């Protein structure tokens, strides 16, 4: 008997959300409509609500969005190569999700605060986070890598969905600060974006954060990147209806958008952030996209999904559709695309060079940073460590061929 691989809710359907629409019909509700402005064929459509926002995406802005997506894809390829070559302990690819991240990130304002998971490299790029610094955590030489206060882009959260609670708490703080600022006649309105995936949507933290956000009308946008696979679990196991519909139960708007359409994502996110900043409360955005590669470099997606499914989604590539549109409308030529490629290669070279130059911090700093004040147990462990390392020539841990300290079993 052959192995049966689980499929996404689209498998064998002509319309992407047909199975979910059928489920909603059984419950007597109309199917959720997906906002799409730029289709896979590279043709621009119309939406009665969001076309007005899309018109703000001028040809210059659209070229910039394409360049951003191309740059972050090139970065993703380089980071994957660095992990395969032993320069990173792990990498979390984003290929396929560029439009969801670049479109939403570019729709935010500097005063907005972003709470990512661990795959939002594209959003980090839009917030001017140094991508080489971003790799410090994946190399294992830092618990973070950048200062969130510099960019209003929080450190990556590896615990699924924990950042949604943090985001709502932060948004409630912003809400109170803005009331005070309004009373004083000063201050720019701000909102918060909390990113999470379809797998994390099953975590209780997401439910609790949405309850609090709705109860207190917090200025937060929940941005779910539905990439169809929570590692090896397909979306149809996570939910029987569109994830965007969950917002109804909390009493705020939910929007499903084509996550591979950067124009639509930008428009929907801009609308949602305006809604939040104006004191109208939270919004849930479900960006309907696909993780083309592995969940992480430790994952093998061939074990749980069919290559035909991946091929079908590659035909919806977010970069390809923008290129088709730019070329068809005469908004970009070969010289533009050649420059984008060259810029991407330059970024990759910078990241590779900087990653190789990253130095491993002294492990003693871990003891110093465990507590704000001296702690007797930590002091005892540090004394043991000093005694242990004194047993080696030079008074330090021996190094493996890679130049990293050798791990000792049992310690």
Report the pLDDT value the prediction gives residue 198, as an integer from 0 to 100. Answer: 97
Q: How far apart are the C-alpha atoms of 181 and 101, rounded to whole Å?
A: 31
**Domain check: are 305 and 391 in the same one?**
no
**Domain check: are 160 and 33 in the same one?**
yes
Domains contained in the chain, number: 2
- Contact present, 15 and 21 (Cβ < 8 Å): yes
φ, ψ at 318 (rounded to 5°): -65, -30
Cα 326 to the chain's mean position, in Å?
26
For the annotated catalytic residues, the residue numbers are: 291, 295, 304
Provide the whole-model pTM: 0.87
The answer as to whether 324 is a domain residue is yes
Q: How far apart are the C-alpha atoms of 283 and 131, rounded to whole Å?
A: 29
Q: With a cut of 50, list the residues of the chain below it in pLDDT.
A: 1-16, 27, 400-411
Q: What CATH number has the domain bearing residue 203?
A: 3.40.50.970
Cβ-based neighbours of 201, under 8 Å, separated by 6 or more: 161, 224, 238, 239, 243, 246
CA distances from 237 to 6, 228, 232, 240 (A): 10, 10, 11, 7
Report the pLDDT value the prediction gives residue 264, as an integer from 0 to 100. Answer: 98
Report the pLDDT value the prediction gives residue 186, as an integer from 0 to 100. Answer: 62
The answer as to whether 341 is a domain residue is yes
**Domain check: are 66 and 207 in the same one?**
yes
Report the pLDDT value the prediction gives residue 361, as an integer from 0 to 100. Answer: 83
The answer as to whether 236 is a domain residue is yes
**Domain check: are 367 and 281 in the same one?**
no
Cβ-based neighbours of 10, under 8 Å, separated by 6 or more: 16, 17, 18, 19, 228, 309
The answer as to whether 201 is a domain residue is yes
DSSP string, 142-173: -SSSS-HHHHTBPPP--STTHHHHHHHHHHHH
Strands 220-226 and 283-288, sheet pairing:
parallel
Cβ-based neighbours of 131, under 8 Å, separated by 6 or more: 75, 121, 124, 125, 347, 351
Q: Name the residue range of residue 368's domain.
A: 362-411
**Domain check: are 96 and 234 in the same one?**
yes
Report the pLDDT value the prediction gives residue 2, as an integer from 0 to 100. Answer: 46
Report the pLDDT value the prediction gives residue 180, as an integer from 0 to 100. Answer: 77
Among the three residues 338, 357, 376, which one is the final residue of a domain in this structure?
Answer: 357
Based on its alpha-carbon atoms, the radius of gyration of the chain, rounded to whole angstroms, reads: 23
């Amino acid at each position: 008997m052959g192995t049966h691989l689980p499929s996404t809710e689209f498998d064998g359907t002509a319309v992407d959300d047909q199975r979910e629409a059928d489920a909603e019909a059984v419950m007597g509700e109309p199917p959720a409509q997906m906002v799409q402005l730029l289709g896979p064929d590279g043709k621009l459509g119309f939406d009665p609500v969001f076309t007005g926002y899309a018109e703000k995406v001028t040809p210059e802005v659209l070229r910039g969005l394409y360049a951003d997506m191309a740059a972050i894809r090139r970065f993703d390829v380089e980071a994957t190569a660095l992990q395969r070559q032993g320069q990173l302990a792990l990498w979390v690819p984003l290929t396929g999700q560029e439009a969801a991240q670049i479109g939403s990130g570019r729709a935010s304002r500097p005063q907005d605060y972003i709470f990512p998971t661990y795959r939002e490299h594209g959003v980090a790029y839009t917030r001017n986070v140094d991508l080489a610094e971003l790799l410090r955590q994946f190399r294992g030489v830092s618990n973070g890598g950048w200062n969130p206060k510099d960019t209003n882009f929080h450190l990556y959260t590896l615990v699924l969905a924990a950042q949604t609670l943090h985001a709502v708490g932060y948004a409630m703080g912003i809400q109170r600060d803005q009331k005070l600022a309004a009373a004083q006649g000063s201050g720019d309105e701000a909102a918060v974006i909390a990113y999470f995936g379809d797998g994390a949507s099953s975590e209780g933290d997401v439910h609790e954060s949405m309850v609090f956000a709705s109860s207190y009308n917090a200025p937060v946008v929940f941005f779910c990147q539905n990439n169809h696979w929570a590692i090896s679990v397909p979306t149809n196991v996570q939910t029987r209806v569109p994830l965007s519909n969950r917002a109804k139960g909390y009493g705020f708007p939910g929007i499903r958008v084509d996550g591979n359409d950067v124009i639509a994502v930008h428009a929907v996110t801009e609308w949602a952030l305006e809604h939040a900043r104006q004191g109208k409360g939270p919004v849930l955005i479900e960006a309907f996209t696909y993780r083309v590669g592995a969940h992480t470099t430790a994952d093998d997606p061939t074990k749980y999904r069919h290559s035909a499914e991946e091929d079908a989604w590659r035909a919806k590539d977010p970069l390809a559709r923008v290129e088709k549109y730019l070329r068809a409308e005469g908004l970009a030529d070969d010289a533009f695309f050649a420059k984008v490629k060259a810029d991407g290669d330059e970024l990759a070279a910078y990241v590779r060079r900087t990653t190789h130059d990253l130095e491993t911090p002294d492990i003693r700093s871990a003891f110093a940073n465990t507590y704000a004040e001296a702690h007797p147990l930590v002091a005892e462990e540090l004394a043991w460590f000093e005694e242990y390392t004194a047993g080696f020539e030079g008074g330090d841990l021996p190094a493996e061929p890679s130049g990293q300290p050798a791990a000792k079993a049992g310690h």
